[in-house]
Chain A
Amino acid sequence: MVIANGHAAVEERTIPELGALHAQVQQLQAQVDALRAQAPENRLSMVVFSGDLDRVLAAFVIASGAAASGMETSMFFTFWGLTALRRRRESKGKTLLQKLMGWMTPVGSRGLGVSKMNFGGVGAKMLRAMMRQQGAPQIEEMMQLTRDLGVRIVACQMSMDVMGIRQDELIEGVEVGGVATFLGDATKSKTTLFI
Chain B
Amino acid sequence: MSANNEIDYGTPASAAENQITLQIDGHSVTVNAGTSVMRAAAEAGISIPKLCATDSLEPFGSCRMCLVQIEGARGYPASCTTPVAEGMKVCTQNDKLATIRRGIAELYISDHPLDCLTCAANGDCELQDTVGQVGLREVRYGFDGENHLGAEKDTSNPYFTFDPSKCIVCSRCVRACEETQGTFALTIGGRGFESHVSPGQDQAFMESECVSCGACVQACPTATLMEKSVIDHGVPEHSTITTCAYCGVGCSFKAEMKGEQLVRMVPDKNGQANHGHSCVKGRFAFGYATHKDRITTPMVRDKISDAWREVSWEEAISFAAERLKQIQAKYGKDAVGGITSSRCTNEETYLVQKLIRAGFGNNNVDTCARVCHSPTGYGLKNTFGESSGTQTFDSVMKADVIMVIGANPTDGHPVFGSLMKRRLRQGAKLIVVDPRSIDLVRNSPHVKADYHLKLRPGTNVAVVTALAHVIVTEGLADEAFALERCDVESFSKWKTFVSLPQNSPEAVADITGVDAETLRAAARLYATAPNGAIYYGLGVTEHSQGSTTVIGIANLAMATGNVGRDGVGVNPLRGQNNVQGSCDMGSFPHEFVGYRHVSDGETRAQFEAAWGVTLASEPGLRIPNMFAAAIDGTFKGLYVQGEDIAQSDPDTQHVHHALRELECLIVQDIFLNETAKFAHVFLPGSSFLEKNGTFTNAERRISPVRKVMTPLAGKEDWEVTQDLANALGYPMHYSHPAEIMAEIASLTPQFAGVTYEKIDAMGSIQWPCNEDAPNGTPIMHTDQFVRGKGRFMLTEYIPTQERTNSKYPLILTTGRILSQYNVGAQTRRTENVAWHDEDRLEIHPHDAEVLGIADGDWVGVKSRTGETVMHAVITDRMQPGVVYTTFHFPHSGANVITTDNSDWATNCPEYKVTAVHVAKVAQPSEWQQQYRSFSDNQQSLLDNRITAVE
Query: Do the two chains belong together in a single complex?
Result: no
Interface residues of A (CB under 8 A from B): none
Interface residues of B (CB under 8 A from A): none
